[in-house]
């Protein structure tokens, strides 16, 4: 129960930081997704059975705040959670590598879906512009933020799960 409480607080903190700070700190036109990083890092280290419910709930909350349809974030975050679970079971000795992999793939997946939403909503869309001005800077920021987020979540999960999965 404590892990659910702390992870919920972590989700709330990540969402507030995302909308209040990260989204206003753009590199070209791209910026990071702290919630995605939190989902990836926590999923790599958590040991709770129903954590995916929290992922879905907070993904829906992000979608509710955002102008993007809510199911996009639910899908992306649940896929990141599933990916983290698969990585944890196979390459559990190197959680940081898993974090980088999840961040990279998750960001690509998220941006593909967001770009598709933007495209289907009738917006004038330039693939080259989206790639150069939004996708690449966002991937770079996410990869840079992945290290401190992973370190922080690892420290928190060590105190919650004394027999944690990380080495």
Write out the residues near another protein by the rule CB under 8 A.
18-20, 23-24, 26, 28-31, 33, 35, 62, 65-68, 73, 114-115, 117-118, 121-126, 129-130, 133-134, 138
By C-alpha distance, which of 2, 3, 83 is closest to 36?
Answer: 83
Alpha-carbon gap, residue 105 to 98, rounded angstroms: 11
| Beta carbon nearer to another protein, 84 or 141 | 141
Count of all residues that appear for the chain in the document: 167
Alpha-carbon gap, residue 1 to 64, rounded angstroms: 26
Rounded to the nearest whole angstrom, what is the least distance from the CB of residue 161 to another protein in the complex? Answer: 29
| Beta carbon nearer to another protein, 40 or 87 | 40
Rounded to the nearest whole angstrom, what is the least distance from the CB of residue 167 to another protein in the complex? Answer: 33
Rounded to the nearest whole angstrom, what is the least distance from the CB of residue 100 to another protein in the complex? Answer: 21
Let me know if 37 is exposed, middle or buried by CB neighbors in 10 A (0-12, 13-18, 19+).
buried
| Beta carbon nearer to another protein, 61 or 160 | 61
Neighbours of 144 (CB within 10 A): 13
By C-alpha distance, which of 115, 147, 148 is closest to 131?
Answer: 115
| Beta carbon nearer to another protein, 123 or 167 | 123
Rounded to the nearest whole angstrom, what is the least distance from the CB of residue 68 to another protein in the complex? Answer: 5
Neighbours of 120 (CB within 10 A): 9
Rounded to the nearest whole angstrom, what is the least distance from the CB of residue 30 to another protein in the complex? Answer: 5
| Beta carbon nearer to another protein, 81 or 88 | 81
């Amino acid at each position: 129960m404590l892990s659910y409480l702390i992870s919920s607080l972590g989700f709330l903190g990540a969402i507030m930081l995302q909308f209040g700070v990260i989204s206003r700190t753009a590199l070209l036109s791209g910026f990071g997704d702290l919630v995605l990083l939190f989902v990836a890092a926590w999923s790599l280290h958590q040991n709770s059975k129903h954590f995916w419910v929290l992922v879905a709930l907070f993904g829906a909350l992000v979608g509710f705040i955002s102008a993007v349809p809510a199911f996009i974030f639910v899908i992306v975050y649940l896929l990141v959670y599933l990916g983290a679970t698969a990585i944890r079971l196979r390459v559990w000795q190197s959680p940081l590598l898993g974090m980088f992999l999840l961040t990279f793939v998750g960001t690509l997946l998220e941006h593909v879906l967001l770009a598709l939403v933007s495209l289907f909503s009738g917006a004038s869309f330039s693939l080259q512009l989206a790639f150069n001005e939004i996708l690449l800077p966002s991937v770079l920021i996410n990869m840079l933020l992945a290290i401190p987020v992973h370190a922080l979540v690892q420290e928190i999960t060590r105190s919650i799960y004394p027999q944690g999965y990380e080495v």
